[in-house]
């Protein structure tokens, strides 16, 4: 029997295929861009009607529910119905509803009449109640949002599942885009629109309707400034406001409104900036009290009640409330800025526009809505006239019409027989055939015929308006005038004119005490109280670092720091927190926001800049220069000064001269000189390169410059009476310590 061959098992070969590569541009185009466009167009940026899709879907749902004229309903009911148009979840829909209510106080003209707890715009902690507890309906003001919506004023589009129709925009009869504040963050862009007074906006729009070339100055006279639902005082800055009106970008400064209660010795803050909250203000005030920067206030508390907003500050006896408030405006959100970014969708394209451009676009939009409304009315009236003209033809022989109908054997022949009998078309014949038997009398038909003349006049009037854009504009002007009269309100935010001059604000008092300042070579800075130094004056530094300068001064001194990049930084001693000798301290390049690779090399307490005192600079190329201290005095509170000294050669030493000083200079080839600083010429230009002080051989440089020489230091053989001077070889062992 033959032996079977033993088969060896062969492992299957694994074939690795190269992964499919997709260019990043294609990935972005196919996957990311649709998401970006959806967020921009369908979620975050408002359109020319002043509403984002979430607002529009909610309000239109309430309109279809009959809540414009009916009784209030539970908010949960509205939320549930809105989900037929907006499938983003009940929580986000209810948040949108809350913001539009009267009780939340976000809008100058609320869209929703509310009952229950809807929170407050000025408080982040005051939560609104659940939707099952609150009730709502549309305010009568919403009539102006929906007027004409049933007359084909705007396009109706399918909802997300194609079961319902919803408006692409609302045909607002006033520029709601400037009356209702709106904020949205999309991808790569954002929108932040403040509210303006309705009456002023109507006036500005009417001016543009009458003259499209109205100058910006005229618009600024009519629309004076933003108007916020929380009130406050707007600090009028004509240049900043002009930039907002022209470009749609800029900021508006808002200040809280307060009153002093002398009997209780307290300040009641009654209005705060729209852009902040009471919690932010109270936190900042609390921090200032803990830091000892607000000793004038003994207590503060939230006293919000049914009467409205109130934040109370109890004062110590003798405190000037106005001076205190000036400090608080400077140091807390009691004065804040609203940053404007008027980014609006026009025909699905985001555009940043100024007020004039926004109103111009709204006028074009509104003209389109009015034309569609009037065309709808015109078509309706023409259709009715057509029917009545057909009815008029049977007036002369009603019996004939009855006879035709009675003698027609088949129902489908009634309409053709009437058409033939009276020379009318099918639509007119159907209208006549549907008249009730009781109305087939001469009186009824004569009454209908009398309507013809009125309809013809109305049709002619509508055609006249539609054919003349000036008359359409006059039609819009009349609507705006009526809206202003019916819904206009006085300004809530008062305007404070400062004539462009900044208000003088007293600096908050700084507690003064003696301190020791320490600077290390690596740029670490310490401010240490003498009390903290008792029994422990050993300074902790990083490995490889060492103390370069020490000063004893007080907490109200001015400091200057020269850096290795020819710049000077100014600071106050009080700008730094006290620390201990055992800590590393503040890292100055980060604290003073220095440039990359920049570090301090010289520090000085500089409370004044006398004419007869100088800074002395010694450079690696052997040159030196003296610059008067007065050359560093500047107007205003400049924190940084560039071109502090020459950058033609690396700096080796910086000294301050109140009287002539001896300076020891050491070169790289082990030579030294000692010169009086008075030998170095004075240059008034800070960046002057100086004169030769040390004559160096080719390839050598200065490596050290030392001014604080010991009294016992033997400078014999090194001291020079003239410059430039050649160096003397170092033989003195004392030099080894340098």
Chunked into runs of 10 residues, the chain (738 residues) has average pLDDT values of 49 62 80 83 90 96 94 96 91 95 95 95 92 96 95 94 94 96 89 96 97 94 95 93 94 95 94 95 92 89 91 92 93 94 93 96 96 96 90 80 87 88 89 80 78 90 93 96 96 83 56 88 90 77 88 89 92 88 88 88 89 91 91 79 90 91 89 90 88 90 84 77 87 60
What span, in angstroms and rounded, lies between the C-alpha atoms of 527 and 583?
Answer: 10
- Alpha-carbon span 422 to 413, nearest angstrom: 14
The pLDDT value recorded for residue 16 is 59
pLDDT of the residue at 230: 93
pLDDT at position 412, please? Answer: 87
The strands making up 728-729's β-sheet, listed across from edge to edge, are 702-706, 662-667, 671-676, 728-729
Matching residue, tokens 């001269």: 657
Q: What global pTM score does this model have? A: 0.69
Q: Which class in CATH covers the domain with range 257-333?
A: alpha beta
The pLDDT of residue 34 is 84
Cα–Cα distance, 203 to 198 (Å, whole number) = 9
pLDDT of residue 535: 64
CATH of 368-487, one of 2.40.50.100, 1.10.1040.50, 1.10.268.10, 3.40.630.10: 1.10.268.10
CATH of segment(s) 51-171: 3.90.199.10
**Domain ranges, ordered by start, for the chain:** 51-171, 257-333, 368-487, 510-602, 608-738
- The third-level CATH classification (topology) of the domain covering 608-738 is Neuraminidase (2.120.10)
257-261 and 266-271 strand pairing:
antiparallel
Active site residues: 133
Q: List the one residue out of 345, 354, 343 whose CA is nearest residue 240.
A: 354
Q: How far apart are alpha carbons 105 and 118 in whole angstroms?
A: 9
Q: Which residues pair with 350 in a beta bridge?
A: 345
How many Å apart are CA 199 and CA 491, to the nearest integer?
A: 9
pLDDT of residue 259: 95
Tell me, what's the pLDDT at 574? 87
Residues paired with 653 in a beta bridge:
618
* Residue among 152, 192, 248, 189 nearest 41 (CA): 189
């Amino acid at each position: 029997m033959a032996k079977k061959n033993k088969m060896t098992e062969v492992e299957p070969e694994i074939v690795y295929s190269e992964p499919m590569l997709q260019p990043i541009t294609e990935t972005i185009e196919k996957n990311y861009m649709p998401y970006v466009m959806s967020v921009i167009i369908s979620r975050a940026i408002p359109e020319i009607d002043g509403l984002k899709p979430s607002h529009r879907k909610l309000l239109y749902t309430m309109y279809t529910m009959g809540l414009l004229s009916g009784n209030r309903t539970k908010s949960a009911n509205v939320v549930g119905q809105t989900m037929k148009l907006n499938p983003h979840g009940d929580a986000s829909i209810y948040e949108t509803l809350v913001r539009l209510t009267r009780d939340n106080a976000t809008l100058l003209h609320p869209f929703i009449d509310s009952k229950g707890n809807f929170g407050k715009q000025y408080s982040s902690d005051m939560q609104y109640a659940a939707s099952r507890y609150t009730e709502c309906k549309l305010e009568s003001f919403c009539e102006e949002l929906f007027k004409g919506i049933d007359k084909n004023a705007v396009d109706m589009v399918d909802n997300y599942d194609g079961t319902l129709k919803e408006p692409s925009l609302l045909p607002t009869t006033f520029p709601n885009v400037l009356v209702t504040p709106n904020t949205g963050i999309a991808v790569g862009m954002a929108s932040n629109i403040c509210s303006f007074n309705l009456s002023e906006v109507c006036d500005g729009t009417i001016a543009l309707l009458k003259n499209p070339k109205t100058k910006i100055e005229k618009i600024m006279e009519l629309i004076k400034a933003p108007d916020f639902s929380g009130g406050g005082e707007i600090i009028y800055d004509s240049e900043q406001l002009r930039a907002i009106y022209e470009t749609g970008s800029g900021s508006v400064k808002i200040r809280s409104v307060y009153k002093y209660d002398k009997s209780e010795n307290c300040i009641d803050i009654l209005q705060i900036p729209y852009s902040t909250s009471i919690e932010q203000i109270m936190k900042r005030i609390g921090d200032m009290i803990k830091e000892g920067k607000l000793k004038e206030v003994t207590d503060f508390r939230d006293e919000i009640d049914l009467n409205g907003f109130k934040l109370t500050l109890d004062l110590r006896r003798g405190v000037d409330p106005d001076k205190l408030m000036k400090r608080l405006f400077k140091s807390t959100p009691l004065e804040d800025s609203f940053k404007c970014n008027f980014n609006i969708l026009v025909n699905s394209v985001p555009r940043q526009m100024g007020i004039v451009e926004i109103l111009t676009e709204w006028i074009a939009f509104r003209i389109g809505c009015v034309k569609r409304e009037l065309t709808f009315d015109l078509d309706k009236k023409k259709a009715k006239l057509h029917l009545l003209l057909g009815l008029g033809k049977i007036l002369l022989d009603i019996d004939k019409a009855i006879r035709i109908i009675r003698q027609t054997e088949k129902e489908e022949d009634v309409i053709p027989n009437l058409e033939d009998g009276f020379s009318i078309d099918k639509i007119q014949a159907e209208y006549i055939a549907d008249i009730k038997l009781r109305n087939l009398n001469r009186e009824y038909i004569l009454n209908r015929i009398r309507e013809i003349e009125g309809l013809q006049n109305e049709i002619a009037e509508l055609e006249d308006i539609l054919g003349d854009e000036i008359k359409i504009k006059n039609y819009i002007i009349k609507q705006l005038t009526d809206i202003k009269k019916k819904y206009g309100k006085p300004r809530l935010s008062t305007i404070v004119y400062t004539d462009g001059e900044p208000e003088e604000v007293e600096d908050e008092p700084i507690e003064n005490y003696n301190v020791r300042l320490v600077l290390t070579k690596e740029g670490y800075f310490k401010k240490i109280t003498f009390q903290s130094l008792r029994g422990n004056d050993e300074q902790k530094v990083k490995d490889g670092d060492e103390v370069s300068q020490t000063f004893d001064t007080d907490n109200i001194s001015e400091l200057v720091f020269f850096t290795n990049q020819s710049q000077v930084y100014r600071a106050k001693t009080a700008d730094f927190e006290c620390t201990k000798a055992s800590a590393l301290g503040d890292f100055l390049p980060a604290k003073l926001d220095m440039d990359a690779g920049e570090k301090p090399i010289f520090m000085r307490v500089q409370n004044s800049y006398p004419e007869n005192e100088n800074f002395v600079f010694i450079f690696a190329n052997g040159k030196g220069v003296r610059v008067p201290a007065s050359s560093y005095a500047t107007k205003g509170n400049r924190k940084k000064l560039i071109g502090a000294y020459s950058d033609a050669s690396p700096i080796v030493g910086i000294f301050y001269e109140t009287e002539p000083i001896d300076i020891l200079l050491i070169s790289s080839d082990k030579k030294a000189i000692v010169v009086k600083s008075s030998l170095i010429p004075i240059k008034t230009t800070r960046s002057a390169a100086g004169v030769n002080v040390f004559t160096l051989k080719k390839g050598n440089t200065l490596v050290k410059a030392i001014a604080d020489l010991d009294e016992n230091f033997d400078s014999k053989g090194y001291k020079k009476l003239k410059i430039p001077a050649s160096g003397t070889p170092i033989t003195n062992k004392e030099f080894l310590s340098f």
